[in-house]
């Protein structure tokens, strides 16, 4: 099975977590896109979806799935999204596609976070994948210096603007042994909008696509 087939398999499995006649929060990226394609097959059985990016909203609409604003739905029962890295505790690095802020908002507004990944994304320690940090444009250099003081090597994602009109710094060289602590520390730097560490509110369930089938891991909270 190639990586896309593994992503497709977890996307199919994630449909079991969708609550009928209710809202579903939908993430961004290629794995989330496969999930949207699966969701389209049961669109008559859900109330509608809340999107974590403009691209996701467009894909949902192209399938005829109603898209609603989070402000109008209240708490969501379930949020389904991919990740760039995830530990068995459910801590994640997200934001490879730059949608981290809205992903964190919609995930935070959901009772259950279902993370869907292929096996290459499951790691013992986060940080090999550069950690995305969304920043207010005028704070870019200042935040980069602060991130360097924390031991990382921030790199400006040139030519990229988030759905919120901000910039992204990708931080290389971090071995993230305390994801909750680092998330809190980076959140406190003035000018940071969102850090792509999802640890204080991590995944509750992780579906992992392997050549032997989809493995379901209930996140073991540290």
Classify residue 30 as left (phi > 0), alpha (psi -120 to 50) or beta: alpha
82 binds ligand 5RP (CB under 6 A): yes
Can you list the positions of beta strands (E) in 10-163? Answer: 23-26, 48-51, 76-81, 85-86, 92-93, 110-118, 131-135, 153-156
Check if 134 is active-site.
no
Decide the pairing of beta strands 197-198 and 92-93.
antiparallel
Tokens of 179: 């994801």
- Contact yes or no for 113/204 (Cβ under 8 A): yes
State which residue, 52 or 73, has the beta carbon closest to ligand 5RP: 52
> Taking CB under 6 A as the criterion, which residues in 2-21 touch ligand 5RP?
none
Give the interface size with ligand 5RP as a residue count (CB under 6 A). 17
- Give how far the C-alpha of residue 217 lies from the chain's centroid of Cα atoms, to the nearest Å: 17
**Minimum separation from the CB atom of position 117 to ligand 5RP (A):** 7
Pick the stretch among 11-19, 28-36, 143-151, 164-172 that binds ligand 5RP (CB under 6 A). Answer: 28-36
**Minimum separation from the CB atom of position 17 to ligand 5RP (A):** 16
Task: Report the alpha-carbon distance of residue 156 to residue 144 in Å, rounded.
Answer: 8
30 binds ligand 5RP (CB under 6 A): yes
Through-space distance between the first and last CA atoms of the chain, rounded to whole angstroms: 32
Pick the stretch among 12-20, 62-70, 90-98, 186-194 that binds ligand 5RP (CB under 6 A). Answer: 90-98
Decide the pairing of beta strands 110-118 and 76-81.
parallel
29 binds ligand 5RP (CB under 6 A): yes
- Contact yes or no for 83/99 (Cβ under 8 A): no
State which residue, 40 or 74, has the beta carbon closest to ligand 5RP: 40
27 binds ligand 5RP (CB under 6 A): yes
Task: Report the alpha-carbon distance of residue 34 to residue 128 in Å, rounded.
Answer: 25
70 binds ligand 5RP (CB under 6 A): no
**Minimum separation from the CB atom of position 45 to ligand 5RP (A):** 24
Catalytic residue (choose from 13, 103, 134, 146): 103
What character string, x for contact with ligand 5RP (CB under 6 A) and - otherwise, covers 94-123?
xxxxxxx--x--------------------
Catalytic machinery residues: 103
Which spans of this chain sit near ligand 5RP (rule: CB under 6 A)?
Answer: 27-31, 81-84, 94-100, 103
């Amino acid at each position: 099975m190639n990586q896309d087939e593994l992503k497709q398999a977890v996307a199919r499995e994630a449909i079991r977590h969708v609550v009928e006649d209710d809202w579903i929060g939908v993430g961004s990226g290629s794995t989330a896109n496969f999930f949207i394609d699966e969701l389209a097959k049961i669109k008559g059985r859900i109330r509608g979806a809340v999107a974590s990016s403009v691209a996701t909203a467009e894909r949902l609409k192209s399938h005829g799935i109603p898209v609603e604003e989070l402000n109008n739905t209240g708490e969501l029962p379930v949020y389904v999204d991919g990740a760039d890295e995830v530990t068995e505790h459910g801590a994640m690095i997200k934001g490879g596609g730059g949608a981290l802020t809205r992903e964190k908002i919609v995930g935070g507004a959901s009772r259950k976070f279902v993370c869907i990944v292929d096996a290459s994304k499951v790691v013992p320690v986060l940080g090999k994948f550069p950690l995305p940090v969304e920043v207010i444009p005028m704070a870019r250099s200042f935040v980069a210096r602060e991130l360097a003081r924390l031991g990382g090597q921030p790199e400006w994602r040139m030519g990229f603007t988030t759905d919120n009109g901000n910039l992204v710094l990708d931080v290389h060289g971090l071995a993230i042994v305390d994801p909750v602590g680092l998330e809190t520390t980076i959140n406190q730097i003035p000018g940071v909008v969102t850090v792509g560490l999802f640890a204080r509110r991590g995944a509750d369930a992780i579906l992992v696509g392997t050549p032997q089938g989809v493995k379901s891991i209930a996140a073991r909270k540290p």
